[in-house]
Amino acid sequence: MKILSYNVNGIRAAINKGFLDWLRQEAPDVLCLQETKATQDQIAEQDFLEIQNMGYQTHFFSAQKKGYSGVAIFSKINPSKVTLGSGILSMDQEGRIIRLDFEDFSVMSLYLPSGTNLDRLDFKLNFCQEFTQYVLSLQKTLPHLIICGDYNICHQEIDIHNPVSNKNTSGFLPVERAWFGEFLEKTNFVDSFRHLHPTTKDAYSWWSYRANARANNKGWRIDYVLLSQSLASRVNSAFILQQAKHSDHCPVGIELK
């Protein structure tokens, strides 16, 4: 089973850049999307029909603000339950969490806030703390959980092209990195990519549009597939699809046994 996660930086823009051809070729069983910037009914009817014809059910959870944030999950597997948001207003107003429960595991698409200024950093850190408690509560009934998404945080120095010059940059701040480590510890979650590739360098999932960063692979690994320890032994492969170029991010994913 192939599960992918992709911050498309606007699904309509990504479609105009060949996203649907890529989707047909990759054919994941489950695709988690972030930063869709659209409601389902804003996708052109022809494009939506094409997605359906590939065998996907589509589930969107959008921000209250038009053209902003938003998450979605496309699935070829019929879920037993679809949960839009967390039920916590402070986390849900920007459309950042959606979850599908299947027979023996659950998949969440997460778009964690960025912290581009002081106000947004405070919002991000509060979101992170609330998210930790939310996941801990979920684990009481969902022991096999996969959280795919754009976490907007590089966890370790190996996850960023220049850790020294970026040490005071949002996304690599000590307080953000500390939360990421604490989240993994408290939830006993596994970073699937580092689980299989603990020393792999230059493995990035986002690049600035500035200074030819992507061509020079001066990037950040801020997109992750985290999963419950109970699922770690089922991860056959974990990968980053850097050849996909419909966004400033690229897809990340896993193959489950």
| Terminal alpha carbon distance of the chain | 7
Burial of 34 from C-beta contacts in 10 A (0-12 / 13-18 / 19+): buried
Smallest CA-to-CA distance from 10 within 19, 2, 1 is with 19
Contact (Cβ atoms closer than 8 angstroms) between residue 240 and residue 233 = no
- For residues 117 and 23, give the distance between their C-alpha atoms in angstroms, rounded to a whole number: 35
Q: Are strands 145-150 and 223-228 parallel, antiparallel or unpaired?
A: antiparallel
Q: What positions carry a catalytic annotation? A: 111, 150
| 177-to-117, 151, 172, 180, 252 alpha-carbon distances in Å | 17, 11, 6, 5, 20
